């Protein structure tokens, strides 16, 4: 987990806007007792004049809806356009659900009906404070993510940030200049082909072809022909001469992915090609000289396969001259934040979406997950989350279920309460938030069904979702 920066200060200056002087006076006394610094305005126009000056340090606006001239809804729209960082709460003695919904659609954070209890106003401001704090934390998180992406090094398509990946990068650059055979090792999805392409791009062969083949994806009966080519008439369907992948890669690099799947008869022919620098097409007696650098990769334990007689020992030592170990993502979690930022950007470019990133809690879940599918799984997870997100910031609800609060070992997410915070109210909010998240997870985001599980009205759940910023 990245270190959490010191908590940013909550807002303290509130602008009360109401055309009734007794209401302004009462709210000033109430909020001052709660530790807020209060300034007042009698009209929407006066509020705009105060808010529009560059030195204005108002953090939240508490405004009446009906006033002469510019009303509260007009002030909400002005704030959304000119001061989007402001939190605006509206009040009205003519309360209705329609008015509340209209105010929130225009950009208000919350709505209070007059007459109201004093605690109701204070609680609403406390909730707004929590929202501001989360927004500031997200802003700080975004800044840290951008710094990590900026600090990350590029090696071809590989993003290099963690110490273990810097070691990989140094190894790739060191061996790239030589023709020697390289074996790239690592679990599925760690980026073995990307490392092999980077090896080619850093080498003197960069202008030559890079030819990739997955040895486990081609039937054994066709693989020899794919690798070495064949002569016309070599077998029933061989109606013409065919160049093999070794010939296609002449002057460049041949990448043999999942080389552990290579059948024993072809292991012998591959060893001969590597040792002698020549191949024979199927059905041909004449050898062909080829200038090819071979880079092999596997997610299997070739050493164990040699012991079990499944892989030739001489071929193993021939291809493992320069082994490069790609670490799994769970062992380099420092790479997750810049990778997330990168995949959000590439997904936006590919799908035309406009996601800005993941919020702090979603990033915590991504950092806690074990990533058995490694970087490939992370990329697919971010694409899923970008598509499922209902706002610019990806929250926990948008993540695939397997990554929400559980590691790949099946551990459940445990709620964590600050040891030095004994506030029952704040604990209640944490529990409420967690229950809503769980209900949305169980219903795959179906809010009507989730409301039934939570024993809430649909409208109440919508307000809660907006309140918590899901």
Of 49-58, 62-71, 393-402, which gets the smallest average pLDDT?
49-58
The per-residue pLDDT for 149 is: 57
For 285-343, how does the pLDDT look when each residue is reduced to its tens digit (9 = 90+)?
Answer: 889 999 999 999 999 899 999 999 999 999 999 999 999 999 999 999 889 988 998 89
**Cα–Cα distance between 204 and 78 in angstroms, integer?**
60
Using H for helix, E for strand and C for coil, what is the string for 242-291? Answer: ECCHHHHCCCCEEEEECHHHCCHHHHHHHHHHHHHCEECCECCCCCEECC
Mean pLDDT of 131-149: 65
Query: Nearest 5°: phi and psi at 90?
Result: -105, 150
Burial 396-408 (b: 16+ CB within 10 A, else e): bbbbeeebbbbbe
Count of Cβ atoms closer than 10 Å to residue 289 Cβ: 9
**Cα–Cα distance between 231 and 238 in angstroms, integer?**
7
The per-residue pLDDT for 411 is: 42
Residues facing residue 337 across a β-bridge: none
| Side-chain half-sphere CA neighbours of 358 within 13 A | 30
For 416-456, how does the pLDDT look when each residue is reduced to its tens digit (9 = 90+)?
Answer: 454 455 667 767 777 888 788 777 766 666 777 778 788 88
Q: Which domains are assigned to the chain?
A: 13-148 (3.40.50.2300), 161-327 (3.40.50.300), 331-468 (1.10.8.60)
Residue 460 sits at the vertex; the CA angle it makes with 454 and 464, to the nearest 5 degrees, is 85
Mean pLDDT of 88-112: 80
The per-residue pLDDT for 9 is: 39
Mean pLDDT of 269-273: 93
Q: Over 60: is that where the pLDDT of 258 sits?
A: yes
The per-residue pLDDT for 4 is: 36
Q: Is the peptide bond before 418 cis (omega within 30 degrees of 0)?
A: no
For 172-217, how does the pLDDT look when each residue is reduced to its tens digit (9 = 90+)?
Answer: 999 999 999 999 999 989 999 999 999 999 999 999 999 999 998 8
**Cα–Cα distance between 459 and 470 in angstroms, integer?**
15
The residue that leads in pLDDT, 1 or 116, is: 116
Residues with Cβ within 8 Å of 96's Cβ and at least 6 positions away in sequence, in order, are none
447, 461 Cβ separation under 8 angstroms: yes
> Of the ranges 101-110, 117-126, 255-264, 385-394, which is most confident?
255-264
The per-residue pLDDT for 267 is: 94
For the four alpha carbons of 213, 217, 219 and 220, in that order, the dihedral sign comes to positive
Q: Over 80: is that where the pLDDT of 241 sits?
A: yes
Q: What is the CA radius of gyration of the chain?
A: 31
């Amino acid at each position: 987990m990245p270190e959490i920066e010191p908590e940013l200060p909550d807002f303290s200056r509130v602008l009360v806007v109401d055309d009734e002087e007794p209401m302004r006076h009462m709210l000033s006394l109430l909020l001052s007792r709660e530790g807020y610094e209060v300034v007042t305005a009698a009209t929407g126009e006066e509020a705009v004049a105060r808010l529009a000056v560059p030195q204005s340090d108002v953090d939240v606006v508490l405004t009446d809806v009906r006033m002469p001239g510019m009303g509260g809804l007009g002030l909400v729209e002005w704030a959304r356009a000119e001061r989007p960082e402001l939190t605006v709460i509206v009040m009205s003695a003519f309360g209705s659900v329609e008015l509340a919904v209209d105010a929130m659609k225009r950009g208000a954070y919350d709505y209070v009906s007059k007459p109201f209890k004093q605690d109701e106003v204070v609680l609403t401001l406390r909730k707004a404070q929590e929202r501001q704090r989360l927004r500031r934390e997200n802003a700080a998180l975004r800044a840290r993510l951008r710094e990590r992406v900026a600090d990350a090094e590029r090696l071809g398509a590989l993003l290099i940030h963690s110490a273990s990946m810097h070691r990989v990068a140094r190894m790739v650059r060191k061996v790239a200049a030589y023709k020697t055979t390289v074996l790239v090792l690592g679990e599925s999805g760690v980026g073995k082909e990307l490392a092999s392409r980077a090896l080619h791009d850093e080498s003197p062969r960069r202008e030559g072809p890079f030819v990739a083949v997955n040895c486990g994806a081609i039937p054994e009966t066709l693989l020899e022909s794919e690798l070495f080519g064949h002569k016309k008439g070599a077998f029933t369907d061989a109606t013409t001469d065919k160049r093999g992948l070794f010939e296609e890669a002449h002057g460049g690099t041949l990448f043999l992915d999942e080389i552990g799947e290579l059948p024993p008869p072809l292991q012998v022919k591959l060893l001969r090609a590597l040792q002698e620098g020549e191949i024979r097409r199927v059905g041909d007696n004449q050898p062909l000289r080829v200038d090819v650098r071979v880079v092999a990769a596997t997610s299997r334990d070739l050493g164990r396969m040699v012991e079990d007689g499944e892989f030739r020992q001489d071929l193993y030592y021939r291809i493992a001259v320069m082994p490069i170990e790609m670490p799994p993502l769970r062992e380099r979690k420092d790479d997750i934040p810049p990778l997330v930022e990168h995949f959000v950007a590439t997904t936006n470019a590919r799908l035309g979406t406009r996601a800005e990133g993941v919020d702090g809690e979603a990033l915590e879940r991504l950092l806690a997950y074990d990533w058995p599918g490694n970087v490939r799984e992370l990329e697919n997870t971010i694409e899923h989350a970008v598509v499922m997100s209902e706002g610019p910031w990806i929250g926990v609800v948008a993540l695939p279920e397997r990554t929400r609060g559980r590691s790949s070992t099946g551990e459940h997410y445990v709620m964590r309460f600050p040891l030095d915070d004994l506030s029952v109210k704040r604990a209640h909010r944490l529990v409420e938030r967690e229950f809503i998240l769980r209900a949305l997870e169980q219903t795959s985001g179906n809010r009507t069904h989730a409301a039934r599980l939570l024993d809430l009205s649909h409208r109440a759940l919508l307000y809660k979702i907006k309140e918590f910023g899901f």
